[in-house]
Amino acid sequence: MHIRPLLALGLLGLGNLALAEDSTLTPVRINGSVSDSLAAELPIGTVVLTRADLDEMPATTLSDVLDSVAGVQTSRFYGISGTTASIDLQGFGATANQNTLILLNGQRLSPIDTSSPDLAAIPLVAIERIEVLPGAGAALYGNGAVGGVINIITRQNYRNSAGLKAVGGSYATTGGSAYASGKGDRVGGALALNSLSSDGYRDNNEIRQHNAFADLRYQGDGMSAYLSAGGSHQEQGLPGGRTISASQNQYQDDPTGTNTPFDDAEQDNYWVMPGLSVQLPGHNALTLDFSRRHQTQDYRYVSLASQGKTTVDSYSVAPKLNGQLATGPVVHNWTLGFDLHDYDYQSRASFGDRDLDQTERAWYLHNLMALGSHWSVSAGARRLDSTLSGDGMRNEQDGEMYEGGVRYTIDGGLAFFAGAQRSVRIANVDELSPFNPPIDPQTGHTYTAGASWAQGRQHSTLTFWRAQIGNEIVYDPITGTNRNLDDDTRHQGISLNSRWKLDKDLALTINGSVQQARFDGGSYDRNDVPLVPESTLQLIADWQALPWLSAQIAHRYVGARYYDGDLANSQDKLDSYRTTDLQLTTRYRALYLQAGVYNLEGNHFADYGSYSSFSGNTSLYPLPDRHYLVTLGMEL
């Protein structure tokens, strides 16, 4: 589809749905790269975690927070820091990183290779809210939004405040953080610093991590300017998995050991995201967002006599024009945008060097239409062109993405919704390597329906989804290459995210999902996709026991699933597991003391395991047993 049919969708929208029965126009807000009400108004099962929600969770990392959302599964691999965590939305297993699009303030955070996004570089204290868009976001945000989108939004509305804390706990864990924010008549900003050092649960499991985040915002008459920046340095041991074979079971007999005592990795990452929004005549606004990211990864696999260094420099420019337009009784909240992403990828490795440049260009349009006070309809489309060049190769791919839906809101906060999207995933630089056969773009058709309810801080969202994925890009353990599957895969399920305020001092969160991901045809017909659990459950209770004492307890259940690499489903499943985390916080004026015990029952478990059809062995990555963290802090 070319741009002329796209324009036939009409002027399309990303504005705020704050409209009365008479379709009165409201001014377009120009608060940066994201709208503070768009996600909740889209006809999808959006889950929004607010700042208050984050404060009431016994979570120590961003990956822990995301793992609390029904329909999202996190694999941590190495433990407490979340540095290599993989985020899976709607059940894609080993390819989760490539099928779940992670954004920071509406800008792409997902990398262009098969590595995980650097979630540990974003301190929790810097986050204002998190928006999870299951089975949606392809037209709005583009390549890779197959299972959906997770948009992490940093704080934008500041007050004069400051905080300082020191942390200590199990496995020689020490750390600390500090933040300060301020706001004047027109200027506001914040600075946050964070540091963590831990020997980890296992041998060669140490982590040294340092993060910095800064944000500056200016609000003028009819315009706003903003600059977000961050950086991180990480050093990490790589203990590998614990082998289970006919002659040994290292996972049971020696879970804290390692077969790779000298493997390690180091990573440096920084990003700068400036932007400008200008109010135009009428109910229109022009937004210009820019992004510059630099990431360097050094790895040393002594166990494999291999080492290497990867450097990725990325640039993006994302102008968009949005506003409101009335056509009779219908109010259109429209957006017309263009995204340009350029990646310079360099790899120096024992098995060879690679120098690649990837450019992605996309036009998109979206419309959120208000039909009175009860009905809203959305429609959007995106055209993507991608060019990968270097190492004597040139690969050009393109794709078209669509999404749309309808929402009916009943007085009292109850709404029903239904939506559909066509997504596209372009193969990344690892998948388009000379070692793999030619790979076509992956396409998906996803359908969602459900209901949501909100009243004050109480909210619930029930979502049904079904997706058919064609040309899915997977790693084939038989051939040892990435390739397109000849037949489709099918993903379907139901998720419930619900928070209830039982009384003024007690809140309960109940999040759960039941899902199924299967191959639909071919040699693996009706087999389950590995690493996708059939069910998950998260229970969180937040109790203000006394004016000076609060308690949070969280219980997590993850069902059994097949090992990574076991496409034939020939092995026993990776065991289900349960964990419970308890956190107590006592406050005296500006001071607070927080004590947490995690994996309270001391369960022996792993959230990732792999199977080798060549050796017949399985390998598990055990996660920490019962451990403790104590925090002493001050907030002004």
In this predicted model, which residue has the larger pLDDT, 315 or 119?
Answer: 315
300-342 tens-digit pLDDT: 999 999 999 999 999 999 999 999 888 888 999 999 999 999 9
Size (the chain), residues: 636
Neighbours of 568 (CB within 10 A): 15
pTM, to two decimals? 0.91
For the chain, the 3-state helix, strand and coil shares in percent, each to the nearest 5, are 5, 60, 35
Average predicted confidence (pLDDT) for the chain: 89
pLDDT at 4 over 50: no
For residue 634, give every residue at least 6 positions away whose Cβ sits within 8 Å of its Cβ, in sequence order, or none.
163, 164, 165, 590, 591, 592
Domains (ranges, CATH) in the chain? 3-158+264-635 (2.40.170.20)
Whose CA is closest to 139, among 468, 448, 366? 366
In angstroms, rounded to a whole number, what is the distance separating the alpha carbons of residues 530 and 519? 10
In angstroms, rounded to a whole number, what is the distance separating the alpha carbons of residues 414 and 409? 6
The predicted structure's pLDDT at residue 38: 66
For residue 360, give every residue at least 6 positions away whose Cβ sits within 8 Å of its Cβ, in sequence order, or none.
142, 143, 339, 340, 341, 342, 384, 385, 386, 426
Whose CA is closest to 494, among 511, 477, 474, 473? 511
- Highest mean pLDDT, choosing among 3-12, 175-184, 318-327, 488-497: 488-497
State the amino acid at position 279 in one-letter form.
Q
550-591 tens-digit pLDDT: 999 999 999 999 999 999 999 999 999 999 999 999 999 999
Which helix H or strand E contains 52, and what residues bound it? helix 51-55
What are the DSSP E strand ranges found in 81-126? 86-89, 100-104, 107-108
23-48 tens-digit pLDDT: 444 444 433 344 445 677 788 899 99
Residue for token pair 């589809």: 1
Q: For residues 154 and 104, is the Cβ–Cβ distance under 8 A?
A: yes
Q: Both tokens of residue 515?
A: 């899902």
The number of helix segments (H) and strand segments (E) in the chain equals 7, 34
From first CA to last CA, the distance across the chain in angstroms is: 55
Neighbours of 373 (CB within 10 A): 13
Whose CA is closest to 68, among 558, 624, 634? 558
Q: Hey, is 74 helix, strand or coil?
A: strand
Q: For residues 433 and 451, is the Cβ–Cβ distance under 8 A?
A: no
pLDDT at 614 over 90: no
For residue 283, give every residue at least 6 positions away whose Cβ sits within 8 Å of its Cβ, in sequence order, or none.
15, 25, 26, 27, 28, 323, 324, 325
53-105 tens-digit pLDDT: 888 888 888 888 998 999 999 888 877 776 778 899 999 999 998 999 999 88
Q: Which of 9-13, 172-176, 275-279, 312-316 has the lowest mean pLDDT?
A: 9-13
Phi and psi at residue 253, in whole multiples of 5°?
A: -80, -30
Q: What is the mean pLDDT of residues 271-278?
A: 93
